[in-house]
Structures are given as C-alpha cells and as structure tokens.
Amino acid sequence: MSADDFALTLQEVAVRVATGAGRLIHDERPADVEVAATKTSPVDVVTKMDLASEELIRAELARLRPEDGLLGEEGGLRSGTSGLTWVVDPIDGTVNYLYGVAGYAVSIAVVAGQPTPQAWQVLAGCVMDPKHDLVYSAARGHGAQVTDGGVTRPLQGPADVPLARALVGTGFGYLPGRRAAQARVLSGLLPRIRDIRRLGSAALDLCALADGLLDAYYERGLQPWDQAAGVLIAQEAGAVVTGLHGLGASEELVVGAAPGLHRALTELLGRLGASSDDR
Ligand code: IPD
Ligand code: CA
C-alpha cells in the first residue's frame, strides 16, 4: 500500500471509531450526567460517559489496529510496536456535555513519532460532533472534509480578514492562575478585533476555523488530545496553525488563521504575553 492510500485508510479508521463513540455519548447521555472524578481543579470534571467513550474507543482500536499505541485523555498511554499512536479525547467539551449545552465532540487522531505535539507528525484525524451529526476529518496531504447529515463537502479554511474584522475563538484552562493570565491577554485583544467566541471545545473550535465559521482561533494550555485532530483538519483546510516565535502548535500556544491574519494575530499575542509562564 502506498503512503497516500495508508493515510486515507487511517482516516477511515478514525472516522469509524469516532462516529461510534460520538453516537454512544449522544444517544446514551443520561438526563443527569454523573461526574466520576475531578482532575486539575474542582471544575475540571470527568463524567462516567467520558470513561465509557474511551473504553469503547480503546476496544475498537485494539481490534482494528492492534499494533498501534494509544494515548487517551482518561486512560493515559498504552505503547504499541508500529510507531503509530492514536491520540484520543473521548469527550472534548466535557463541561458543555455535563450541562447539555451543544458543543461537545469525540476527537481521534493518529500520529507518527513520539505522541507529543513538538515531536509528532499527525497522519489523519476525525472530530465527530454527534449533537449536530457533523463528521470532520482529514488525512495529511489530502485536504479536509465534513460530512453533514450524510453529505460530504471539502473544508476550505477561513477568509483572510483584517485583525479589526476578525471573529476569534479561544478557550480557557481550568486553573485559576492560568485563567487570570488568559483574561489579561483577552482584555488586550478584545478591543482590537470584531468579537470573541468561547464555544467550549477546542476540537470544534479548530473545525469551525477549518469551515470558515471563525476567522481565527488561539488558546494556551491545550493537551495533545485537544489539538491533534483539530490542528490537522484546520491545516488541511488551508489555515496556518502554529505557536509563537516560529514554533509549531503545542501546549504552549495554538494560533490558527489565514496567513495575513495569522501574522497580525501572532504578533499581537506575542506582545500581550500570550505564551508567558502563568502557572
Ligand atoms: C477542554 C475544551 C475547552 C478548552 C480547554 C480544554 P475538555 O477540553 O477543549 O474548549 O478551552 O482548554 O481542556 O476538558 O472538555 O476535554
Ligand atoms: Ca476531554
């Protein structure tokens, strides 16, 4: 099989597994979603459905791709022997899910190399929004697409608008110190743009960017599973997605937009100290 066919096969696996897990969390969402645990702070929750979704994804990938590793938000790293690792967020937008607010998704990507954004090459990925029946996916070098209610169309990326006209998505971490620093950056940014959106799922923010529903997106503190699939989808749709100072997208900062806006936004975020130490 050629490298091209291989990437497409991996995309199909990502779509299949993410769709199954997306249906599970949507169709089986209890009226009262139960919190199973808290993580980095009392407002950073894991629900029983996060655990059920990751269990299903682990079982499916073990069956379909037994030699690959898996890094999941809830269960951590299981090493493989193939050099590929699946990077899994069983529910991105868990707080939306807890409250029954739209804007949660399953995010699954497969990466070559060490499963960290600084070292990996993302080969394929899928973000599945079950509440709206949207399946976003991409394979490296093959563009990005969305299947909306059964109809598939290519994702064309955001328009290159001036900073002052930009609708910018972002998100906030769960730790008070980080949030205070993020609020300071936001107060410098907000007067200079059209407006801000906080949708509550980084994976869906990046897909909205890929679909031109946001002009730009930035966030500090994203974990590997929050960004792996979404960054590939946005890049394959034509967005520039990086960190600051010539670095790649990582936990430190993810900034995405069309090229001209990306330049203006990264320059401003740098001046506002968006990737400065804030813990
Ligand atoms: C969170 C969401 C949110 C982002 C946070 C993430 P989770 O992921 O993606 O939009 O702002 O940084 O932690 O906790 O819902 O998987
Ligand atoms: Ca999650």
Provide the H-helix boundaries in 28-125: 48-64, 94-99
Q: What are phi and psi of 179, to 5 degrees?
A: -65, -40
Return the best residue to mutate from 46, 51, 226 for the ligand 1 pocket (most ligand atoms within 8 A of CB).
226
pLDDT at site 279: 61
Say which residues have a Cβ less than 8 Å from residue 200's Cβ, sequence separation at least 6: 93, 95, 96, 101, 103, 104, 171
- Contact 89 CB / ligand 1 (< 6 Å): yes
pLDDT surpassing 90 at residue 111: yes
Contact 22, 106 (CB under 8 A): yes
- Separation of alpha carbons 134 and 140, rounded Å: 20
Q: Is the pLDDT of residue 276 over 90?
A: no
Position in ligand 1 atom list of the atom nearest CA 201: 10
pLDDT tens, position by position, 36-73: 999 889 998 899 999 999 999 999 999 999 999 999 99
Is the CB of residue 202 below 6 angstroms from any atom belonging to ligand 1?
A: yes
Residues 220-249 have a mean pLDDT of 97
